[in-house]
Amino acid sequence: MSVDAAELYTRYGPMVLRRCRQLLRNEDNAVDAMQDVFVKLLENQSRLDDRGLSSLLYTMATNICLNHIRSKKRKPTASYDEDESLLDKIATIEEPVDVGDAGRLLDRIFKRHPASTRTIATLHLHDGLTLEQTAQQVGLSVSGVRKRLRTLTAHLQQLREL
């Protein structure tokens, strides 16, 4: 069953835009990311059905925003103020480091983990979603989310000890 993208844009567009604003903290970038979400939706609309679309769109928005953040880290064209996000702050846990060090630290942390682990960490640690809500957003069980977070925490602890 195909979905009506125009109706979904009207219905869920504000939610997707709020999510993009929350992660990107820049109106122009948030609007671009929101449009990317709906372009992806249009590309795949024939494969979708009408169940769980708000969760799907929320997760798509999160992933696309994280991709935008990663792209900016690789090609720094904007000032740090525009690109500031909680992910940068996480990397500066106790010792002050520059943005390049923070990006390298995050890359090193997430290199050994699936891309969805970054999404899980963002949803649970940044957005404050419960384990159950996070599991629902990413399509895993609560124990799967808990295991990913536990593995990530152990990896962080190993890096701290180095």
DSSP for 124-159? Answer: IIIS---HHHHHHHHT--HHHHHHHHHHHHHHHHHH
Residue reference for tokens 């943005």? 99
Whether residues 26 and 51 share a domain: the answer is yes
Whether residues 54 and 19 share a domain: the answer is yes
**Residue 143 main-chain phi, psi, to 5 deg:** -65, -35
Would you say 110 and 99 are in contact if contact means Cβ atoms under 8 Å apart? no
Whether residues 93 and 34 share a domain: the answer is no
Whether residues 21 and 92 share a domain: the answer is no
Which pTM value belongs to this model? Answer: 0.52
Rounded to whole angstroms, the Cα distance separating 162 from 158 reads 7
Q: What is the pLDDT of residues 41-86, one digit of tens each?
A: 888 877 777 777 888 889 899 989 988 888 777 665 544 443 344 4
Instruction: Answer with the one of 30, 52, 82 that is the final residue of a domain.
Output: 82
Among candidates 51, 55, 87, which has minimal Cα distance to 68? 87
9: number of Cβ within 10 Å: 18
Task: Name which residue leads in pLDDT, 97 or 53.
Answer: 53
Whether residues 112 and 61 share a domain: the answer is no
Instruction: Answer with the one of 13, 47, 82 that is the final residue of a domain.
Output: 82
Number of domains composing the chain: 2
Whether residues 75 and 89 share a domain: the answer is no
Whether residues 142 and 156 share a domain: the answer is yes
The CATH number assigned to the domain holding 160 equals 1.10.10.10
Whether residues 70 and 94 share a domain: the answer is no
Instruction: State which residues form the domain around 74.
Output: 1-82
29: number of Cβ within 10 Å: 20
Rounded to whole angstroms, the Cα distance separating 101 from 41 reads 35
Confidence of residue 32 (pLDDT cuts 50, 70, 90): very high
Rounded to whole angstroms, the Cα distance separating 143 from 127 reads 19
Whether residues 101 and 25 share a domain: the answer is no
How confident is the model at residue 91, as a pLDDT? 41
Instruction: Answer with the one of 41, 56, 82 that is the final residue of a domain.
Output: 82
How confident is the model at residue 107, as a pLDDT? 67
Q: What is the pLDDT of residues 9-25, one digit of tens each?
A: 899 999 999 999 998 98
